[in-house]
Structure 1
Amino acid sequence: MHISLKGMVAAMVLTLTACGNVSHDVAKDGSTAGQLVWPAPSDVTPMHKGGTFPDPAAVRAVQADMNKQQIAQLIGYPHFEEGVWGVREWNYVFNFRDADTGQVTVCEYKILFDEHKLARSFYWSPEDCARFVKPPVPPTVTPKPTEQVTTLSADALFRFDRYSRADITDDGRGQLDRLADSLLAEQDRIVHIHVIGYTDRIGSDDYNQTLSQRRADTVAAYLVEKHVPADVIGAEGRGKSDPVVQCPDDSSRNTLIACLAPNRRVVVHVETRGG
Protein backbone atom coordinates (compact mmCIF):
# COMPACT_ATOMS: atom_id res chain seq x y z
CA MET A 1 0.00 0.00 0.00
CA HIS A 2 1.33 3.37 -1.02
CA ILE A 3 1.58 6.01 1.76
CA SER A 4 1.73 9.59 0.56
CA LEU A 5 4.28 12.08 1.79
CA LYS A 6 1.42 14.03 3.33
CA GLY A 7 0.36 10.94 5.26
CA MET A 8 3.88 10.33 6.55
CA VAL A 9 4.14 13.91 7.79
CA ALA A 10 0.76 13.59 9.49
CA ALA A 11 1.92 10.40 11.23
CA MET A 12 5.07 12.09 12.45
CA VAL A 13 3.13 15.04 13.80
CA LEU A 14 0.79 12.64 15.59
CA THR A 15 3.75 10.92 17.20
CA LEU A 16 5.22 14.24 18.31
CA THR A 17 2.07 15.79 19.72
CA ALA A 18 -0.95 13.60 20.20
CA CYS A 19 -0.46 10.99 22.90
CA GLY A 20 -0.55 13.08 26.07
CA ASN A 21 1.03 12.77 29.49
CA VAL A 22 1.55 9.45 31.24
CA SER A 23 1.30 10.85 34.77
CA HIS A 24 -2.00 12.22 36.08
CA ASP A 25 -2.77 15.86 36.87
CA VAL A 26 0.57 17.45 36.03
CA ALA A 27 0.59 20.83 37.79
CA LYS A 28 0.53 23.94 35.61
CA ASP A 29 3.87 25.03 37.03
CA GLY A 30 5.34 21.55 36.41
CA SER A 31 6.37 21.20 40.04
CA THR A 32 4.58 17.90 40.61
CA ALA A 33 1.76 15.65 39.46
CA GLY A 34 -1.29 14.22 41.18
CA GLN A 35 0.12 10.78 40.42
CA LEU A 36 3.44 9.95 38.82
CA VAL A 37 3.06 7.06 36.42
CA TRP A 38 6.05 5.18 35.08
CA PRO A 39 5.59 3.46 31.70
CA ALA A 40 6.90 -0.07 31.38
CA PRO A 41 10.48 -0.08 30.02
CA SER A 42 9.37 -2.62 27.43
CA ASP A 43 6.95 -0.05 25.98
CA VAL A 44 9.68 2.19 24.56
CA THR A 45 9.56 3.03 20.88
CA PRO A 46 11.34 0.53 18.61
CA MET A 47 14.32 2.84 18.10
CA HIS A 48 14.86 2.99 21.87
CA LYS A 49 14.44 -0.72 22.55
CA GLY A 50 16.57 -1.72 25.54
CA GLY A 51 17.11 1.90 26.54
CA THR A 52 20.24 3.95 25.99
CA PHE A 53 23.53 4.49 27.79
CA PRO A 54 23.59 8.27 28.35
CA ASP A 55 26.56 10.40 29.19
CA PRO A 56 26.09 11.08 32.94
CA ALA A 57 27.51 14.56 32.45
CA ALA A 58 24.84 15.27 29.82
CA VAL A 59 22.05 14.12 32.15
CA ARG A 60 23.57 16.19 34.92
CA ALA A 61 23.51 19.21 32.63
CA VAL A 62 19.72 19.06 32.28
CA GLN A 63 18.39 21.88 34.42
CA ALA A 64 15.15 23.68 35.23
CA ASP A 65 14.08 26.42 32.77
CA MET A 66 15.46 24.50 29.77
CA ASN A 67 13.15 24.10 26.81
CA LYS A 68 12.57 20.83 25.04
CA GLN A 69 14.99 21.52 22.20
CA GLN A 70 17.77 22.24 24.66
CA ILE A 71 17.07 19.04 26.57
CA ALA A 72 16.91 16.98 23.38
CA GLN A 73 20.34 18.25 22.41
CA LEU A 74 21.71 16.85 25.67
CA ILE A 75 19.92 13.52 26.12
CA GLY A 76 17.75 13.05 23.03
CA TYR A 77 13.99 12.95 22.60
CA PRO A 78 11.76 10.88 24.94
CA HIS A 79 11.78 7.12 24.61
CA PHE A 80 8.03 6.55 24.70
CA GLU A 81 5.05 7.58 22.58
CA GLU A 82 3.67 10.22 24.93
CA GLY A 83 4.67 12.79 22.34
CA VAL A 84 7.23 15.57 22.13
CA TRP A 85 5.83 19.07 21.66
CA GLY A 86 2.27 19.04 22.96
CA VAL A 87 2.91 17.23 26.24
CA ARG A 88 4.34 18.26 29.57
CA GLU A 89 6.10 15.05 30.43
CA TRP A 90 9.06 13.21 28.91
CA ASN A 91 10.19 9.73 29.94
CA TYR A 92 13.44 7.90 29.27
CA VAL A 93 14.95 4.49 29.91
CA PHE A 94 18.63 4.81 30.76
CA ASN A 95 21.23 2.14 31.40
CA PHE A 96 24.15 2.74 33.73
CA ARG A 97 27.13 0.46 34.24
CA ASP A 98 28.47 0.31 37.78
CA ALA A 99 32.14 1.19 37.70
CA ASP A 100 32.95 -1.20 40.56
CA THR A 101 30.92 -4.30 39.67
CA GLY A 102 30.44 -3.88 35.93
CA GLN A 103 26.73 -4.63 36.35
CA VAL A 104 24.16 -2.66 34.37
CA THR A 105 21.26 -0.97 36.17
CA VAL A 106 18.12 0.00 34.24
CA CYS A 107 16.67 3.34 35.33
CA GLU A 108 13.72 5.46 34.27
CA TYR A 109 14.03 9.23 34.13
CA LYS A 110 11.09 11.62 34.04
CA ILE A 111 10.90 15.35 33.31
CA LEU A 112 7.81 17.44 34.01
CA PHE A 113 7.31 20.73 32.16
CA ASP A 114 5.25 23.78 33.06
CA GLU A 115 2.52 25.18 30.83
CA HIS A 116 5.15 27.09 28.89
CA LYS A 117 6.93 23.81 28.15
CA LEU A 118 9.94 24.63 30.30
CA ALA A 119 11.46 21.89 32.46
CA ARG A 120 10.53 22.18 36.12
CA SER A 121 10.93 18.90 38.00
CA PHE A 122 12.90 15.70 37.56
CA TYR A 123 12.40 12.17 38.88
CA TRP A 124 14.14 8.79 38.90
CA SER A 125 12.74 5.30 39.22
CA PRO A 126 14.12 3.76 41.30
CA GLU A 127 15.14 6.91 43.17
CA ASP A 128 18.60 5.47 43.87
CA CYS A 129 19.41 5.85 40.18
CA ALA A 130 20.18 9.52 40.83
CA ARG A 131 23.57 8.39 42.15
CA PHE A 132 24.74 7.54 38.64
CA VAL A 133 24.68 11.17 37.55
CA LYS A 134 26.06 12.78 40.67
CA PRO A 135 29.17 14.86 40.06
CA PRO A 136 32.29 12.75 40.51
CA VAL A 137 33.95 13.24 43.86
CA PRO A 138 37.28 14.92 43.25
CA PRO A 139 40.19 12.90 44.59
CA THR A 140 41.45 13.97 47.96
CA VAL A 141 44.75 15.68 47.48
CA THR A 142 46.99 15.48 50.50
CA PRO A 143 49.55 18.24 50.38
CA LYS A 144 53.04 16.85 50.26
CA PRO A 145 55.16 17.57 53.32
CA THR A 146 57.79 20.20 52.84
CA GLU A 147 61.17 20.29 54.50
CA GLN A 148 63.12 23.22 55.85
CA VAL A 149 66.79 22.69 56.60
CA THR A 150 68.82 24.84 58.97
CA THR A 151 72.56 24.26 59.29
CA LEU A 152 74.24 25.49 62.45
CA SER A 153 78.00 25.67 62.83
CA ALA A 154 79.11 23.47 65.72
CA ASP A 155 82.03 25.84 66.30
CA ALA A 156 79.54 28.68 66.84
CA LEU A 157 77.23 26.56 69.00
CA PHE A 158 79.74 24.89 71.32
CA ARG A 159 83.10 25.55 72.82
CA PHE A 160 85.80 23.56 71.08
CA ASP A 161 85.42 19.81 71.46
CA ARG A 162 82.50 20.22 73.90
CA TYR A 163 78.84 19.28 73.75
CA SER A 164 76.88 19.98 76.95
CA ARG A 165 74.20 22.58 77.68
CA ALA A 166 76.74 24.55 79.70
CA ASP A 167 79.13 24.55 76.73
CA ILE A 168 76.76 26.41 74.41
CA THR A 169 78.22 29.80 73.49
CA ASP A 170 76.37 33.10 73.70
CA ASP A 171 76.19 33.18 69.90
CA GLY A 172 74.97 29.60 69.94
CA ARG A 173 72.14 30.42 72.35
CA GLY A 174 71.09 33.30 70.12
CA GLN A 175 70.95 31.02 67.08
CA LEU A 176 68.98 28.37 68.95
CA ASP A 177 66.56 30.91 70.42
CA ARG A 178 65.78 32.25 66.96
CA LEU A 179 65.34 28.73 65.65
CA ALA A 180 62.98 27.86 68.52
CA ASP A 181 60.91 30.99 67.84
CA SER A 182 60.53 30.08 64.18
CA LEU A 183 59.49 26.53 65.07
CA LEU A 184 56.92 27.69 67.60
CA ALA A 185 55.45 30.07 65.03
CA GLU A 186 54.44 27.12 62.83
CA GLN A 187 54.25 24.29 65.34
CA ASP A 188 50.74 23.34 64.16
CA ARG A 189 52.20 22.40 60.79
CA ILE A 190 55.27 20.56 62.05
CA VAL A 191 55.32 16.83 61.42
CA HIS A 192 58.83 16.02 62.59
CA ILE A 193 62.09 17.70 63.58
CA HIS A 194 65.25 15.72 62.94
CA VAL A 195 68.41 17.07 64.59
CA ILE A 196 71.59 15.58 63.13
CA GLY A 197 75.08 16.16 64.49
CA TYR A 198 78.29 15.88 62.44
CA THR A 199 81.98 16.13 63.24
CA ASP A 200 85.11 16.44 61.15
CA ARG A 201 87.38 13.45 60.47
CA ILE A 202 89.98 14.29 63.07
CA GLY A 203 89.92 11.71 65.87
CA SER A 204 88.62 8.15 66.12
CA ASP A 205 85.37 7.02 64.60
CA ASP A 206 83.92 6.08 68.02
CA TYR A 207 84.84 9.44 69.54
CA ASN A 208 83.37 11.39 66.65
CA GLN A 209 80.19 9.32 66.69
CA THR A 210 79.70 9.93 70.40
CA LEU A 211 80.48 13.66 70.12
CA SER A 212 78.07 14.15 67.21
CA GLN A 213 75.28 12.31 69.06
CA ARG A 214 75.75 14.30 72.25
CA ARG A 215 75.69 17.61 70.38
CA ALA A 216 72.51 16.61 68.56
CA ASP A 217 70.93 15.55 71.87
CA THR A 218 71.88 18.88 73.47
CA VAL A 219 70.39 20.94 70.63
CA ALA A 220 67.17 18.89 70.72
CA ALA A 221 66.91 19.29 74.51
CA TYR A 222 67.48 23.05 74.23
CA LEU A 223 64.60 23.37 71.75
CA VAL A 224 62.35 21.38 74.07
CA GLU A 225 63.28 23.74 76.91
CA LYS A 226 62.02 26.55 74.66
CA HIS A 227 58.65 24.75 74.45
CA VAL A 228 59.09 23.07 71.09
CA PRO A 229 57.01 19.84 71.45
CA ALA A 230 59.27 16.98 72.49
CA ASP A 231 57.17 14.35 70.71
CA VAL A 232 58.14 15.63 67.26
CA ILE A 233 61.91 15.89 67.86
CA GLY A 234 64.48 13.20 67.19
CA ALA A 235 68.27 13.45 67.52
CA GLU A 236 70.93 11.48 65.64
CA GLY A 237 74.71 11.57 65.49
CA ARG A 238 76.45 10.70 62.24
CA GLY A 239 80.06 11.32 63.19
CA LYS A 240 82.35 12.25 60.35
CA SER A 241 79.98 11.06 57.61
CA ASP A 242 78.68 13.26 54.80
CA PRO A 243 81.52 15.82 54.84
CA VAL A 244 80.81 19.18 53.26
CA VAL A 245 84.44 19.87 52.37
CA GLN A 246 87.60 17.84 51.75
CA CYS A 247 90.94 19.13 53.01
CA PRO A 248 94.52 17.99 52.25
CA ASP A 249 96.27 15.89 54.88
CA ASP A 250 99.63 17.64 54.42
CA SER A 251 98.33 20.83 56.05
CA SER A 252 99.36 21.82 59.56
CA ARG A 253 96.95 20.75 62.31
CA ASN A 254 95.59 24.24 62.85
CA THR A 255 95.15 24.75 59.13
CA LEU A 256 93.41 21.38 58.83
CA ILE A 257 91.08 22.17 61.74
CA ALA A 258 90.16 25.49 60.18
CA CYS A 259 89.64 23.92 56.74
CA LEU A 260 87.35 21.22 58.15
CA ALA A 261 85.15 23.69 60.08
CA PRO A 262 82.13 23.35 57.70
CA ASN A 263 82.00 19.63 58.48
CA ARG A 264 81.50 20.33 62.19
CA ARG A 265 77.83 21.19 62.20
CA VAL A 266 74.35 20.45 63.49
CA VAL A 267 71.66 20.22 60.81
CA VAL A 268 68.00 20.63 61.76
CA HIS A 269 65.51 19.14 59.28
CA VAL A 270 61.96 20.39 59.85
CA GLU A 271 59.23 18.51 58.02
CA THR A 272 55.95 20.44 57.80
CA ARG A 273 52.53 19.78 56.35
CA GLY A 274 51.84 21.54 53.10
CA GLY A 275 49.15 24.17 52.73
Structure 2
Amino acid sequence: MNKFYISSIVVLINILLGLTACTSYTKSEKDGAAKTLVWPKASESTLNMSLGIFPDPSSLEQVKSGLTKHQLYYLLGRPHYSEGFVYVREWNYLFHFHTPGQGENDVTTCQFKVLFDKKSTAQTFYWKAVNPKSGVCPPGGKPESKPIMRAQKFTLNTDALFEFNKAGLKDLSVKGQEELDIFIKQLHELKELNTIIILGHTDFLGSEVYNLLLSQERANSIKHYLIIKGVHPDKIKAIGIGEQQPVKQCSPSLERNKLIACLQPNRRVEIEVNGYGIVN
Protein backbone atom coordinates (compact mmCIF):
# COMPACT_ATOMS: atom_id res chain seq x y z
CA MET A 1 0.00 0.00 0.00
CA ASN A 2 1.72 3.20 -1.16
CA LYS A 3 1.99 6.44 0.79
CA PHE A 4 -0.39 8.29 -1.55
CA TYR A 5 -3.15 5.70 -0.98
CA ILE A 6 -2.67 5.86 2.81
CA SER A 7 -2.76 9.66 2.75
CA SER A 8 -5.99 9.58 0.72
CA ILE A 9 -7.63 7.29 3.28
CA VAL A 10 -6.54 9.57 6.14
CA VAL A 11 -7.97 12.63 4.36
CA LEU A 12 -11.26 10.78 3.71
CA ILE A 13 -11.54 9.72 7.37
CA ASN A 14 -10.90 13.29 8.52
CA ILE A 15 -13.60 14.59 6.17
CA LEU A 16 -16.11 12.03 7.41
CA LEU A 17 -15.30 12.86 11.02
CA GLY A 18 -15.80 16.54 10.26
CA LEU A 19 -19.18 15.85 8.67
CA THR A 20 -20.56 13.72 11.49
CA ALA A 21 -18.96 15.21 14.59
CA CYS A 22 -21.51 16.09 17.26
CA THR A 23 -19.83 18.73 19.36
CA SER A 24 -22.39 21.23 20.66
CA TYR A 25 -21.76 24.44 22.55
CA THR A 26 -25.27 25.86 22.93
CA LYS A 27 -28.34 23.90 24.01
CA SER A 28 -31.03 24.86 21.50
CA GLU A 29 -34.74 24.08 21.58
CA LYS A 30 -36.45 22.08 18.82
CA ASP A 31 -37.47 25.35 17.12
CA GLY A 32 -33.88 26.60 16.97
CA ALA A 33 -34.13 29.07 19.87
CA ALA A 34 -31.81 29.15 22.88
CA LYS A 35 -32.08 30.64 26.35
CA THR A 36 -28.32 30.72 26.95
CA LEU A 37 -25.50 31.00 24.42
CA VAL A 38 -22.23 29.12 24.83
CA TRP A 39 -19.41 30.17 22.53
CA PRO A 40 -16.31 28.19 21.56
CA LYS A 41 -13.00 29.91 22.14
CA ALA A 42 -12.19 31.98 19.09
CA SER A 43 -8.71 30.47 18.94
CA GLU A 44 -10.07 26.90 18.76
CA SER A 45 -11.39 27.09 15.20
CA THR A 46 -10.40 24.00 13.21
CA LEU A 47 -10.46 22.49 9.70
CA ASN A 48 -7.71 24.87 8.50
CA MET A 49 -9.87 27.81 9.53
CA SER A 50 -7.80 28.87 12.53
CA LEU A 51 -7.40 32.35 11.08
CA GLY A 52 -11.04 32.73 10.07
CA ILE A 53 -12.12 34.36 6.82
CA PHE A 54 -13.23 37.70 5.38
CA PRO A 55 -16.81 36.85 4.33
CA ASP A 56 -18.36 38.10 1.11
CA PRO A 57 -20.75 40.89 2.24
CA SER A 58 -23.30 40.05 -0.47
CA SER A 59 -23.41 36.42 0.68
CA LEU A 60 -23.74 37.44 4.32
CA GLU A 61 -26.72 39.66 3.44
CA GLN A 62 -28.55 36.61 2.06
CA VAL A 63 -28.36 34.70 5.34
CA LYS A 64 -31.83 34.44 6.89
CA SER A 65 -34.03 32.00 8.74
CA GLY A 66 -35.28 29.03 6.73
CA LEU A 67 -32.00 28.18 4.98
CA THR A 68 -30.89 24.57 4.83
CA LYS A 69 -27.37 23.57 5.83
CA HIS A 70 -26.43 23.11 2.18
CA GLN A 71 -27.70 26.60 1.31
CA LEU A 72 -25.80 28.09 4.24
CA TYR A 73 -22.70 26.13 3.24
CA TYR A 74 -22.97 27.59 -0.26
CA LEU A 75 -23.12 31.15 1.12
CA LEU A 76 -20.58 31.01 3.98
CA GLY A 77 -18.63 27.78 3.54
CA ARG A 78 -18.18 25.04 6.12
CA PRO A 79 -18.36 25.93 9.83
CA HIS A 80 -15.04 26.89 11.40
CA TYR A 81 -15.25 24.76 14.53
CA SER A 82 -15.57 21.06 15.33
CA GLU A 83 -19.34 20.80 15.66
CA GLY A 84 -19.63 18.96 12.33
CA PHE A 85 -22.02 19.17 9.38
CA VAL A 86 -24.83 16.62 9.39
CA TYR A 87 -26.34 15.81 12.79
CA VAL A 88 -25.61 18.99 14.73
CA ARG A 89 -27.87 21.89 15.67
CA GLU A 90 -25.21 24.60 15.69
CA TRP A 91 -22.54 26.08 13.43
CA ASN A 92 -19.95 28.69 14.42
CA TYR A 93 -17.83 30.91 12.21
CA LEU A 94 -14.88 33.28 12.74
CA PHE A 95 -15.19 36.37 10.53
CA HIS A 96 -12.99 39.42 9.90
CA PHE A 97 -14.20 42.75 8.55
CA HIS A 98 -12.25 45.70 7.16
CA THR A 99 -13.13 48.61 9.46
CA PRO A 100 -10.90 51.65 8.74
CA GLY A 101 -10.00 53.44 11.96
CA GLN A 102 -11.37 50.63 14.14
CA GLY A 103 -10.13 47.30 15.45
CA GLU A 104 -6.64 45.86 15.16
CA ASN A 105 -4.88 47.09 12.02
CA ASP A 106 -8.25 48.38 10.80
CA VAL A 107 -9.83 44.92 11.12
CA THR A 108 -12.67 43.85 13.42
CA THR A 109 -12.99 40.15 14.28
CA CYS A 110 -16.35 38.57 15.15
CA GLN A 111 -17.81 35.16 15.86
CA PHE A 112 -21.05 34.20 14.14
CA LYS A 113 -23.36 31.50 15.48
CA VAL A 114 -26.16 29.70 13.61
CA LEU A 115 -28.73 27.58 15.47
CA PHE A 116 -30.86 25.05 13.59
CA ASP A 117 -34.24 23.57 14.44
CA LYS A 118 -34.92 19.82 14.64
CA LYS A 119 -35.33 19.72 10.84
CA SER A 120 -31.81 21.18 10.35
CA THR A 121 -33.22 24.49 9.13
CA ALA A 122 -31.37 27.64 10.19
CA GLN A 123 -33.54 29.67 12.58
CA THR A 124 -31.54 32.05 14.79
CA PHE A 125 -28.28 33.90 14.28
CA TYR A 126 -25.99 35.55 16.82
CA TRP A 127 -22.87 37.72 16.79
CA LYS A 128 -20.08 38.12 19.34
CA ALA A 129 -17.25 40.65 19.18
CA VAL A 130 -13.79 39.05 19.51
CA ASN A 131 -11.28 41.80 18.69
CA PRO A 132 -11.85 44.40 19.90
CA LYS A 133 -14.23 43.03 22.53
CA SER A 134 -16.09 46.33 22.45
CA GLY A 135 -16.46 46.13 18.68
CA VAL A 136 -19.73 46.19 16.78
CA CYS A 137 -20.63 42.89 15.10
CA PRO A 138 -21.42 42.91 12.31
CA PRO A 139 -19.85 46.30 11.53
CA GLY A 140 -22.60 48.81 10.98
CA GLY A 141 -25.04 46.77 13.08
CA LYS A 142 -25.97 46.89 16.74
CA PRO A 143 -23.38 45.95 19.37
CA GLU A 144 -25.49 43.47 21.31
CA SER A 145 -25.56 39.78 20.44
CA LYS A 146 -28.98 39.04 18.99
CA PRO A 147 -30.71 37.09 16.21
CA ILE A 148 -30.63 38.66 12.75
CA MET A 149 -34.10 37.37 12.05
CA ARG A 150 -36.46 34.79 13.36
CA ALA A 151 -39.62 33.69 11.57
CA GLN A 152 -42.71 32.52 13.40
CA LYS A 153 -46.03 31.49 11.89
CA PHE A 154 -49.45 32.04 13.44
CA THR A 155 -52.52 30.23 12.08
CA LEU A 156 -55.97 31.72 12.68
CA ASN A 157 -59.30 30.02 11.97
CA THR A 158 -61.24 32.18 9.49
CA ASP A 159 -64.54 30.72 10.73
CA ALA A 160 -63.78 32.41 14.03
CA LEU A 161 -62.48 35.60 12.41
CA PHE A 162 -65.27 36.38 9.97
CA GLU A 163 -69.01 35.99 9.65
CA PHE A 164 -69.95 33.14 7.28
CA ASN A 165 -69.04 33.89 3.65
CA LYS A 166 -67.91 37.43 4.57
CA ALA A 167 -64.53 39.08 4.16
CA GLY A 168 -64.77 42.79 4.96
CA LEU A 169 -63.32 44.62 7.90
CA LYS A 170 -66.84 45.22 9.24
CA ASP A 171 -67.45 41.45 9.05
CA LEU A 172 -64.82 40.59 11.65
CA SER A 173 -66.51 38.79 14.53
CA VAL A 174 -66.04 39.84 18.15
CA LYS A 175 -64.09 36.65 18.80
CA GLY A 176 -61.98 37.30 15.72
CA GLN A 177 -61.11 40.80 16.89
CA GLU A 178 -60.15 39.43 20.30
CA GLU A 179 -57.80 36.89 18.68
CA LEU A 180 -56.23 39.58 16.51
CA ASP A 181 -55.83 41.94 19.47
CA ILE A 182 -53.89 39.25 21.37
CA PHE A 183 -51.68 38.73 18.31
CA ILE A 184 -51.14 42.50 17.88
CA LYS A 185 -50.15 42.83 21.55
CA GLN A 186 -47.38 40.29 20.87
CA LEU A 187 -46.27 42.28 17.83
CA HIS A 188 -45.94 45.47 19.88
CA GLU A 189 -43.77 43.60 22.41
CA LEU A 190 -41.18 42.74 19.76
CA LYS A 191 -37.82 44.44 20.06
CA GLU A 192 -37.60 44.59 16.28
CA LEU A 193 -40.18 43.86 13.57
CA ASN A 194 -39.04 43.22 10.00
CA THR A 195 -41.97 41.92 7.95
CA ILE A 196 -45.46 40.46 8.31
CA ILE A 197 -46.85 38.24 5.55
CA ILE A 198 -50.59 37.47 5.68
CA LEU A 199 -51.76 34.46 3.64
CA GLY A 200 -55.49 33.90 3.16
CA HIS A 201 -56.76 30.36 2.45
CA THR A 202 -60.17 28.84 1.64
CA ASP A 203 -61.62 25.38 1.13
CA PHE A 204 -62.62 24.11 -2.34
CA LEU A 205 -66.33 24.85 -1.99
CA GLY A 206 -67.32 27.43 -4.59
CA SER A 207 -65.46 28.39 -7.75
CA GLU A 208 -61.69 28.73 -7.84
CA VAL A 209 -61.95 32.38 -8.89
CA TYR A 210 -64.39 33.21 -6.09
CA ASN A 211 -62.21 31.49 -3.49
CA LEU A 212 -59.13 33.38 -4.66
CA LEU A 213 -60.96 36.71 -4.36
CA LEU A 214 -62.40 35.76 -0.96
CA SER A 215 -59.00 34.78 0.41
CA GLN A 216 -57.43 38.02 -0.86
CA GLU A 217 -60.19 40.16 0.64
CA ARG A 218 -59.84 38.46 4.01
CA ALA A 219 -56.05 38.89 3.96
CA ASN A 220 -56.52 42.57 3.07
CA SER A 221 -59.03 43.05 5.90
CA ILE A 222 -56.64 41.63 8.46
CA LYS A 223 -53.86 43.84 7.06
CA HIS A 224 -56.10 46.91 7.49
CA TYR A 225 -56.99 45.84 11.03
CA LEU A 226 -53.29 45.61 11.94
CA ILE A 227 -52.69 49.06 10.46
CA ILE A 228 -55.58 50.53 12.46
CA LYS A 229 -53.99 49.05 15.59
CA GLY A 230 -50.67 50.75 14.92
CA VAL A 231 -48.64 48.32 12.79
CA HIS A 232 -46.71 50.14 10.04
CA PRO A 233 -48.28 49.38 6.61
CA ASP A 234 -44.91 49.11 4.85
CA LYS A 235 -44.09 46.03 6.94
CA ILE A 236 -47.23 44.11 5.92
CA LYS A 237 -47.95 42.13 2.76
CA ALA A 238 -51.34 40.44 2.19
CA ILE A 239 -51.68 37.55 -0.28
CA GLY A 240 -54.71 35.48 -1.25
CA ILE A 241 -53.94 31.80 -1.90
CA GLY A 242 -57.51 30.59 -2.39
CA GLU A 243 -58.04 26.83 -2.31
CA GLN A 244 -54.58 25.89 -3.62
CA GLN A 245 -52.85 24.88 -0.36
CA PRO A 246 -55.22 22.66 1.68
CA VAL A 247 -53.93 21.14 4.91
CA LYS A 248 -56.72 18.53 5.03
CA GLN A 249 -58.28 16.40 2.29
CA CYS A 250 -62.01 15.60 2.47
CA SER A 251 -64.19 13.53 0.15
CA PRO A 252 -66.63 15.67 -1.90
CA SER A 253 -69.15 12.83 -1.50
CA LEU A 254 -69.63 13.63 2.19
CA GLU A 255 -72.93 15.06 3.35
CA ARG A 256 -72.64 18.85 2.98
CA ASN A 257 -72.66 19.71 6.70
CA LYS A 258 -70.05 17.02 7.37
CA LEU A 259 -67.99 18.22 4.39
CA ILE A 260 -68.03 21.82 5.64
CA ALA A 261 -66.93 20.65 9.09
CA CYS A 262 -64.22 18.43 7.62
CA LEU A 263 -62.82 21.28 5.53
CA GLN A 264 -62.61 23.71 8.45
CA PRO A 265 -58.78 23.52 8.84
CA ASN A 266 -58.40 24.72 5.25
CA ARG A 267 -60.35 27.91 5.96
CA ARG A 268 -57.53 29.76 7.67
CA VAL A 269 -55.26 32.77 7.70
CA GLU A 270 -51.55 32.24 8.21
CA ILE A 271 -49.46 35.15 9.44
CA GLU A 272 -45.68 34.86 9.19
CA VAL A 273 -43.75 37.30 11.36
CA ASN A 274 -40.05 37.97 10.88
CA GLY A 275 -38.57 39.81 13.82
CA TYR A 276 -36.52 39.72 16.98
CA GLY A 277 -37.80 38.98 20.44
CA ILE A 278 -40.97 37.13 19.45
CA VAL A 279 -43.21 36.35 22.41
CA ASN A 280 -44.91 32.95 22.29
Structure number, greater radius of gyration: 1
Question: Is the helix fraction higher in 1 or 2?
Answer: 1
- Give the structure-2-normalised TM-score: 0.48
